[in-house]
Homo-oligomer: A and B are copies of this chain.
Amino acid sequence: MDVQEQKPFVIGLDLGGTNSVFGIVDQRGQVLATNSIKTQAYKNVEDFVDAGIEALKPIIAKVGGLAQIKAMGIGAPNGNYYSGTIEFAPNLPWGHDGVVPLAKMFSDKLEGLPVALTNDANAAAIGEMQYGVARGMKNFIMITLGTGVGSGIVINGQVVYGCDGFAGELGHVTMVRGEEGRLCGCGRKGCLETYCSATGVARTAREFLQKSAEPSMLREINPDEITSLDVAIAAGKGDKMALEIFEFTGEMLGAACADFASFSSPEAFVFFGGLTKAGDLIMNPIKKSYEKHVMKIFNDKAKFLVSSLDDAAAAVLGASAIGWEL
């Protein structure tokens, strides 16, 4: 086999607010080697790219050198697929005040290797389609429940990028209109993300604890330090208030998905992220709310799935999956 010609591997970069993880991935979705750098350690993007290239060298060498690599895919916050740029990303030290041509910068340092970039949730959707539970699906919506709520929308087998590359921001549909909506990081009020992200769930926990005197295991934790994991653990032990918090969260997510169905009528909603670790405790309230809120013609149609990809590898896999499309 002429491996020079076949180029059996792609690079995936999961560029997160804390860590940037590089991985070399084969066509079956095996992550053969990884390395990482601290995203926040680099004040300007040139230094970040240089450090990234240094981190890549040993793992590229491990699979036989750059000649073995077909392309590189990057999943990054505020990533624009059309232009390969990161635009005004508030959580990156060098991302908040401009348009950074990151795909081109990596390509230039990797002998012109094709490099594509998209936001992390779109990357996750492509990863599920390429390697995960969405294999064979033409219409599905990926929803990532992390620090924020992200989404990747697949219609007719294609990720929806819209006219400008920024489509698929379902964490920012408005769920609570008017002044009573929670303030969102995007500057607006009542976004889905403020209720259903990990931080949103923690916020709900603090609100619930404050507004009632009901006993709960969650009272043993300093309210400012409660996480969605604490809620999941308490709910798993049958704590009534924790279960109510998940009911509230699932009600909101299910109602949002009902609106999304009116838009693209997906075959499935695929969930990914820490919150899904709670399993049925969160998935059942989502499904119940969805079936209650959705138009009758959509009842009992959409599947509600949890990502099958290994947590640690999923983001890198997702990013790498864009590479195969180049």
Contacts and interface: CB of A to CB of B under 8 A. Distances in A.
Interface string A152-184: 010110101111111111101111110000000
B174 A258 contact: yes
Interface stretch (A10-18, A262-270, A272-280): A262-270
Contacts of A188: 293, 295
A87 B174 CA distance: 31
Contacts of A173: 259, 262-263
Contact of A260 (B177, B255, B263, B293): B263
Which among A88, A138, A186, A264 has the highest number of chain B CB atoms within 10 Å? A264
B265 A295 contact: no
B264 A162 contact: yes
A211 interface: no
Nearest to A176: B177
A301 B259 contact: no
A163 B298 CA distance: 10
A136 interface: no
Contacts of A267: 163
A246 B78 CA distance: 35
A163 to B, nearest CB: 4
Interface size class for chain A? 35 or more
Contact of A293 (B162, B163, B174, B259): B174
A253 to B, nearest CB: 13
A297 B88 contact: yes
Contacts of A258: 174
Contacts of A175: 177
B301 A265 contact: no
Given A162-B265, A168-B262, A168-B264, 19 more contacts: A139-B162, A155-B155, A155-B160, A160-B264, A161-B265, A162-B266, A163-B266, A163-B301, A164-B265, A165-B265, A167-B263, A167-B264, A168-B263, A169-B262, A169-B263, A173-B262, A174-B255, A174-B258, A176-B177
